A = this chain, B = another copy of it.
Amino acid sequence: MTENRRFLLVRRPNGTPVPADFSLVTEPVPAPPPGGVVIRNHYASLDPAQRGWMDDAESYMPPIPLGDAVRASTLGVVHASDNPRLAVGQWVIGLGGLEDYSVIGPEGFAAPVDISAVASPSNYLSVLGSVGMTAYFGLIAVAKPEAGETLLVSGAAGAVGSAVGQIGKLLGCRVIGIAGGPLKCRRLIEDYGFDAAIDYKGKDHESLVSEITAAAPDGVNIVFENVGGPVMEAEVFTLAHNARIVLCGLISEYNSPEKVGLRNLWQILARRATIHGFLVTDYASQFGEGRAQMAQWLGQGKLRVEEDVQEGLENAYDAFMRLFSGANTGKLILKIDGSQ
């Protein structure tokens, strides 16, 4: 392949992204900068966080520059290298973009991976990648669950949520999941072993509160929050004293210019709850430990991993939008070149 297809952000989305916010262009394959590498991307991770990076808003990473490829974690092979630690042909996970070839400079992130150790290289973007690490460290290092506690997971049928719930069960928690639609709820119980599943769709605040309360009669000790908005506002009314909320994501807010936030913040005080802002990158130095534990559970058949692999960079927009339409279950991954 002598060309580099690139899926560019050309306009900041106003609310829900539309196709015209992006442009698929073809450029020459780049050369590595001094000390850097060029990665031939095979898989890219599609994540709600990318929606946040499209806004011109203060966050934990700079906005994606207009005219640049949509930033993404990618898995690929070193194509050209001016970095003595990364040889041509080496599989790496890196922070690149939705494009055939990503340039990663000497300050960028690119780390070797051993694809002989996994069923599919894409596992490094799911259970052994940031999704798995997010579930592992968010639950274990932040929430510090104890056996017998009740864990409530929102966005529970998603990649992170389903892993969090399964880890919670392995640690002896009672696990309740909130998801959208009866199919997803059935999967929580049948595929992931949750103790209870609640369908938030079409439910008002009171109904949600009473359904969670019925599933958690002693109150919720831990919330693993992926959703935010009205779902979160219902959750806080079910918290036991001293509950911990791991604030991992707010997918309900990413496409809405008007932010709901948490109108009933008072309940956090009244219930002496704690909200922990959590970003998995803070735990990067411990990823070895996390990967080893997740790989062990995986090998023992104790962890079920779903990957929703969509094919072709040309389908990047449709694939990305599966995150927000509720269409995807499991980790959403884009196979950059459908023929690979």
The CA of A37 and the CA of B324, in the complex, are separated in Å by: 61
Q: CA separation between A211 and B315, bound complex, in Å? A: 46
B270 & A278 in contact (Cβ 8 Å cutoff): no
A265 touches B274 (CB 8 A): no
Bound form: Cα–Cα A237–B57 in Å: 11
Whole-angstrom CA separation of A52 from B275 in the bound complex: 22
User: Chain B: which residue is nearest A241 at the CB level?
Assistant: B282
B residues less than 8 Å from A247 (CB atoms) = 265, 268-269
Of A145-153, A253-261, A332-340, the one contacting chain B is A253-261
Q: With A275-B274, A276-B274 given, is the CB distance from A58 to B237 under 8 Å?
A: yes
Q: Is the CB of B269 within 8 A of A259?
A: no
- Is the CB of A290 closer than 8 A to any CB of chain B? no
Interface centre among A248, A262, A282 (most CB of B within 10 A): A262
Interface size on A, residues (CB 8 A): 33
Q: Does A59 contact B (CB under 8 A)?
A: yes
Contact B270 A277 (CB under 8 A): yes
Inter-chain contacts of A273 with B (CB < 8 A)? 277
| Cβ of A271 to closest chain B Cβ, rounded Å | 6
- Per the bound structure, the CA–CA distance linking A264 and B260 in Å amounts to 8
Q: Does A272 contact B (CB under 8 A)?
A: yes
Partner of A263, one of B261, B267, B279: B261
State in angstroms the CA–CA spacing of A60 and B272 once bound together.
Answer: 9
* A268 near B272: Cβ-Cβ < 8 Å: no
A265 touches B278 (CB 8 A): no
A275 / chain B contacts, CB cutoff of 8 Å: 268, 274-275
**Which residue among A59, A267, A274, A279 has the maximum number of chain B CB atoms within 10 Å of its CB?**
A274
Within 8 A of B (CB), among A48-95: 52, 58-60
A10 at the B interface (CB under 8 A): no
Q: Does A298 contact B (CB under 8 A)?
A: no
* A244–chain B nearest beta-carbon distance, Å: 10
Alpha-carbon distance A261/B260, docked complex (angstroms): 9
Chain B residues with CB under 8 Å of A269's CB are: 60, 247-250, 277-279
Can you list 15 contacts pairing A with B, beta carbon distance less than 8 Å?
A52-B266, A59-B266, A60-B271, A228-B265, A248-B269, A259-B263, A259-B266, A260-B263, A261-B264, A261-B265, A262-B262, A270-B279, A272-B277, A274-B275, A275-B275
Interface set of A (CB-CB < 8 Å, partner B)? 52, 58-60, 228, 237, 247-250, 253, 259-279, 282
